[in-house]
Amino acid sequence: MKVGMTEEALKKLMEQPANKYDASAYGQLAPFFTKLSSDERKKFNDYLSTNEQIMNTIKRQEKLQSIMSSSKK
């Protein structure tokens, strides 16, 4: 999954059931997710929330990302 993902690609992804995907693959989405506008983030979050394992993985990744970026300062 690319960080510069287009809205069209995001829509195509969201047409698939979230439980079809492996949560570890979604862990790579944290950097992408943080770049979304709040409206896009809400849509994507609503979609991903259909799979609890994916949401937990993303939350862990975001936390790790935050810790790593604050330690670089």
Q: What is the mean pLDDT of residues 34-41?
A: 80
24 found inside a domain: yes
Indicate whether 48 belongs to any domain: yes
Residue at 12: amino acid letter: K
pTM: 0.38
Residue 1 belongs to a domain: no
Into how many domains does the chain fold? 1
Domain annotation covers residue 41: yes
Which tokens in the block code for residue 51?
Answer: 């799979």
Q: If you average pLDDT over residues 50-71, what whole number do you get?
A: 81
Query: Is the pLDDT confidence value at 2 over 60?
Result: no
Are 36 and 44 within 8 A, CB to CB?
Answer: yes
pLDDT for the residue 22: 61
